[in-house]
Structure 1
Amino acid sequence: MPLDYFIFVMITFLLTAAHCEETEVFAEAGSRAVLPCKCSPLYPFIPTILWSKANKGTVWRKERNGLQYWGYSWFQRVRCPNSRFEKGDFSLQINNVREGDGGVYSCRVEHGDQVVVKVVTLRVTEVSISSSVPVFGIGVWISCKVTPWPHGATVRWTLNNSPFVPQAGIAANRGTTENVVREKATARLTGNWTCVVDYKGKEGRASAALAVKGVIHPSKDDTKVYAAVGSAVTLPCVFSPSLIPSNPVWEKLKPGFLFKPAPGRLPTSFSSSFSQHPSDQSASLKEVGLEDEGRYRCSGSIAGQRLTRNMQLVVAKIHSSIPSKDTGSATLTCQLTDTSEVTDYEWVHVVYDLNGTRSVGSLQKGKSVSISRVSKENQGEWACRFYGRDGILGNITYHIQLMSGLSGQTSLGVSHNTAAMVGLSFLLLVLLLILAQMYKNHRRRKRIFQYPALETIVHTVSNEREERERKQVKN
């Protein structure tokens, strides 16, 4: 290509005996390229304009009479705006630039004996990816191609508008037309890749989007999931929407095995495959205990590749301590099985009224908080919130009613209440016995009144017996 370029320029210069200027233009594949050709606007009428490409012939030509001509395969994509001719601007526009459009172009402007020639080198840049949607763990190549390749140019990469620092290294073959990044597909490669080419003060750019498929949530290994003792928690394991993993497996990893962790026994409250979406293999624990903390791993096979994601369950609880000398106070301490990501603690007092309305009291900072156990103002919930660098990590609540051992006036009040309840119970029992006896007498009289004739006979017999007994006594 350099030899063809040199011959093309020399022939153009010798045949015209005109002043020749060279320009470099970069354009991304698929975009619009503008090849500049500007002259002094001193022409009284439109001159003859000829755009041609080395080894390809005429691209576009305009005669003095206004007739225009296009070269083969250029008609749909090439134009030269007439509105700029009066200003001496004869720049050529190429729409939907292709890789084959790269090369050397010349703009020849003729006006009588005056001839002006502009030489433009169009370099087409493009970023290509070996696999449009690579899967985690599979090697991926990201190539930067420039046609024709600018020898002596420097190439740098950006990922999501930030300089890319390779782990596997950049393999640059300056003797060819590409610059390649070779990496293993991970979440860090996801985003917009841009190849920046610097050459002779000009800058060319090309971009391409890369989406790595696999486990998208959590997005990285060793993500921490926080849960309070006694609560339910979800351990996320979500694959890309179009991926359906085969043979999904959940494991709890034994501690002490960093490089090759051995699987252990899952908790009794562990449950998996509760989602209706095949790509969602998340699991849950219905009731978290302190013994459930530790590392968990989910895995599934995609196209013969085993994809895994490790995560850590951090369990939180509130410890209540009472001083040896009972002073009516207690200290609540927020405890976590792993505090490596915790930067701050915050205590919030939550109170509910008779209508169930929730109100929040003042906030207190610190891992521990001291409260009075006999104060009515401290009744309700005490919530401990713990924060990390990116915001709140989780929270756990403690009910003041669950505290044991009331002292002082509170204990005395409980004794008085107990005695009063015993006395009231005794009086109620006596009243029930009296009422039962009254009811019994009432029922007996009622049964007798149901037979009045029998009552008269009984009464008469009784009177006669008494009369005979009196007569016997007189005799």
Structure 2
Amino acid sequence: MNKKPFLIVLGLALVFEGAQCQEHEVFVAQGSVAVLPCGDETSAPSHPTAVYWSRIVGDVKKTVWRREKSGLEFRPVRDPPRANCPVPNFGKADYSLHIAETTFEDGGKYLCEVEGKTRMRKFINLRVIKASLSPAVVIEGSSLEAVCHINPEMRSVKMNWKRNGISASITSKARISRVSQKDAGTWTCQVEYNGKVVEAATSLEVKGIVIPQDDSLLVYTDVGSSVSLPCVFTDGLIPNTIMWNRTSKTSNARLPLSASFNKSAGPSTSATIQRVEDGDEGMYTCSGMMGGLNGKRIKVQRTMELVVSRVLRSSSSSGNGLVKLTCHLSNSDQITSYEWLRVTYGPNNTQTVTSVQNTTSIRIQEATEKDAGEWVCRYYGKEGVLGNATYELYVMGAVKSENVRSGNKPAMVMGLGFLFLVIFLILFQMYRNYRRKRKILLYPAMETIVHQAANERERRERSRGKMVEACVGEPKPVCV
């Protein structure tokens, strides 16, 4: 018997009606829904179809989900029903397996078997991506390692780490020796395969000082105002000690804190300067000691710059009464523009603000009453208004007084009170002198008696004087 024609017929049967075997790669992030594709375009939608989904573990095939041609559906009893094959899709010859809330352990090789008009087999490698941080919660200054895992492992893929959307590493691992608050947030592992990108993300919490996040903070204030210097620690993080110190920006020499500097109690509170004086600008550092891993003490600190603004006054040398006001800041690097405002007050403390000009300096005629009032220099940065510096000019007739801040008003009131007291004493003394000159007494009867007594005394003195003169003129005076 010639077996050759029989083998040819058998081969053609296997090609057209035999089993089809395919293999696919599926990448999915841990916790998302995995869809393992399995479709049969050769089967007619009306033809009864049996679908078997299994997982290959070593040499053992374990059933994940199956459906017989009769419509009976079988699922493992011991596992939660996370895997299923949507039956409505069978009409489209789509027998894909859906796995909800994919775990890292779900990764592996799966087998899809479809028995319909033809028999089809597909192998799918499900690779689950997981992003992990070690440790998940760190303290500023400690080390961190980020690792991108794939189960099962695969070397011919491209990996990339991103931190808050910014590339941090182009390998499966990223290491940071000193963690800062800028490292907190979302870490994303990107896996690229055959032009497709799958991302797995995790979050990182960094304990330490959350406000401010880094050492680039500039705090703006003006002379005479109060200001808050923020130093807020993470909730639940209590440092052993909190210290504040001040240094010079140029020489880095240590400087004394302001006389009105006040450090509030508690780990998450800010220090305040009740009244900023000229010369309080500089670098302020808040630091705290706390325990880290393995009992190691870690020092967490934040440095911020206090920028003090003031208005400098200069008069014209020509004597024409012009005054130049200049807006001065101890650090103007971040200033983009200035604006001078005129503030006037009306009845019921109504306030009117008028923009005058946008320059660093302004000239005003200080001798006239129309220039009296409050002048404000407002300075701007890229993010908007940064602060104000105020100059107040008071005019009383032809006499004027000026102060840099409204905080000098008590001194002006005391000066005016002293002036009125001196004027009152002068007028009172003039009144007393007038009464003494006119000899105005409060009791008329007493005045008459006094005058009569004075006249009688004067008459007696005159008569006695005449008797003395008569005795002196006689040769032999006889005087009794």
| TM-score normalised per structure 1 | 0.77
**Aligned residue runs from structure 1 range 268-287, under 5 A:** 268-272=259-263, 274-275=264-265, 277-280=266-269, 282-287=270-275
Match of 1:115 in 2: 119
Match of 2:207 in 1: 213
3-state secondary structure, aligned to 1:290: coil
Aligned equivalent of 1:163, options 144, 163, 166:
166
Match of 1:289 in 2: 277
CA-CA distance at 1:199 after TM superposition: 0.8
Q: Note if contact 2:311-2:325 (Cα within 8 Å) is conserved in structure 1.
A: yes
CA-CA distance at 1:76 after TM superposition: 2.1
Closer, same or farther: CA 432–148 of 1 in aligned 2, 3 Å:
farther
1:193 to 2:187 alignment: yes
Of residues 352-361 and 262-271 in structure 1, the stretch that sits farther from structure 2 once superposed is 262-271
Match of 1:64 in 2: 69
1:77 to 2:82 alignment: yes
Closer, same or farther: CA 432–245 of 1 in aligned 2, 3 Å:
farther
1:313 to 2:316 alignment: no
Q: Note if contact 2:338-2:380 (Cα within 8 Å) is conserved in structure 1.
A: yes
Q: Note if contact 1:104-1:122 (Cα within 8 Å) is conserved in structure 2.
A: yes
Closer, same or farther: CA 92–363 of 1 in aligned 2, 3 Å:
farther
Match of 2:223 in 1: 229
Closer, same or farther: CA 383–102 of 1 in aligned 2, 3 Å:
same
Closer, same or farther: CA 242–404 of 1 in aligned 2, 3 Å:
farther
3-state secondary structure, aligned to 1:325: coil
Q: Note if contact 1:142-1:181 (Cα within 8 Å) is conserved in structure 2.
A: yes
Q: Note if contact 1:136-1:213 (Cα within 8 Å) is conserved in structure 2.
A: yes
CA-CA distance at 1:118 after TM superposition: 2.5
Match of 2:385 in 1: 392
Closer, same or farther: CA 369–321 of 1 in aligned 2, 3 Å:
same
Closer, same or farther: CA 52–343 of 1 in aligned 2, 3 Å:
same
CA distance in 1, matches of 2:247, 2:445: 78
Match of 1:92 in 2: 97
CA-CA distance at 1:198 after TM superposition: 0.4
Q: Which amino acid aligns with 1:302?
A: M
Q: Note if contact 2:142-2:179 (Cα within 8 Å) is conserved in structure 1.
A: yes
CA distance in 2, matches of 1:404, 1:318: 25
Match of 2:144 in 1: 140
CA-CA distance at 1:433 after TM superposition: 4.2
Q: Note if contact 2:242-2:267 (Cα within 8 Å) is conserved in structure 1.
A: no
1:69-90, CA deviations, whole angstroms, 9 ceiling, x for partnerless residues? 2246444211111121112111
Of residues 194-203 and 20-29 in structure 1, the stretch that sits farther from structure 2 once superposed is 20-29
Aligned equivalent of 2:128, options 124, 127, 139:
124
CA-CA distance at 1:141 after TM superposition: 1.2
Aligned equivalent of 1:266, options 245, 257, 263:
257
Closer, same or farther: CA 266–427 of 1 in aligned 2, 3 Å:
closer
CA distance in 1, matches of 2:445, 2:179: 95
Q: Note if contact 1:270-1:285 (Cα within 8 Å) is conserved in structure 2.
A: yes
Q: Note if contact 1:25-1:35 (Cα within 8 Å) is conserved in structure 2.
A: yes
Q: Note if contact 1:108-1:115 (Cα within 8 Å) is conserved in structure 2.
A: yes
Closer, same or farther: CA 110–354 of 1 in aligned 2, 3 Å:
same
CA-CA distance at 1:354 after TM superposition: 3.4
3-state secondary structure, aligned to 1:90: coil
Match of 1:455 in 2: none
CA distance in 1, matches of 2:230, 2:80: 56
Q: Note if contact 1:216-1:238 (Cα within 8 Å) is conserved in structure 2.
A: yes
Q: Note if contact 1:132-1:210 (Cα within 8 Å) is conserved in structure 2.
A: yes
CA-CA distance at 1:391 after TM superposition: 1.5
Closer, same or farther: CA 254–396 of 1 in aligned 2, 3 Å:
closer
3-state secondary structure, aligned to 2:207: coil
Aligned equivalent of 1:325, options 299, 318, 330:
318
Q: Note if contact 1:254-1:264 (Cα within 8 Å) is conserved in structure 2.
A: yes
Aligned equivalent of 2:54, options 43, 52, 55:
52
Q: Note if contact 1:59-1:74 (Cα within 8 Å) is conserved in structure 2.
A: no
CA distance in 1, matches of 2:396, 2:142: 56
1:300 to 2:288 alignment: yes
Q: Which amino acid aligns with 2:187?
A: W
Q: Note if contact 2:218-2:305 (Cα within 8 Å) is conserved in structure 1.
A: yes
Q: Which amino acid aligns with 1:30?
A: G
1:248-285, CA deviations, whole angstroms, 9 ceiling, x for partnerless residues? 1111124555xxx554322222211x25x4322x2121
Closer, same or farther: CA 240–308 of 1 in aligned 2, 3 Å:
same
CA-CA distance at 1:105 after TM superposition: 1.3
Closer, same or farther: CA 87–439 of 1 in aligned 2, 3 Å:
farther
Closer, same or farther: CA 283–366 of 1 in aligned 2, 3 Å:
same
3-state secondary structure, aligned to 2:279: helix
Q: Which amino acid aligns with 2:89?
A: R
Q: Note if contact 2:367-2:398 (Cα within 8 Å) is conserved in structure 1.
A: no
3-state secondary structure, aligned to 1:83: helix
**Aligned residue runs from structure 1 range 364-379, under 5 A:** 364-379=357-372
Match of 2:19 in 1: 18
Closer, same or farther: CA 402–316 of 1 in aligned 2, 3 Å:
farther
3-state secondary structure, aligned to 2:90: helix
Of residues 149-158 and 16-25 in structure 1, the stretch that sits farther from structure 2 once superposed is 16-25
1:203 to 2:197 alignment: yes
Closer, same or farther: CA 84–437 of 1 in aligned 2, 3 Å:
farther
Match of 1:105 in 2: 110
CA-CA distance at 1:22 after TM superposition: 2.8
Match of 2:351 in 1: 358
CA-CA distance at 1:404 after TM superposition: 12
Q: Note if contact 1:46-1:85 (Cα within 8 Å) is conserved in structure 2.
A: no
1:38-66, CA deviations, whole angstroms, 9 ceiling, x for partnerless residues? 22361424311011112242211111122
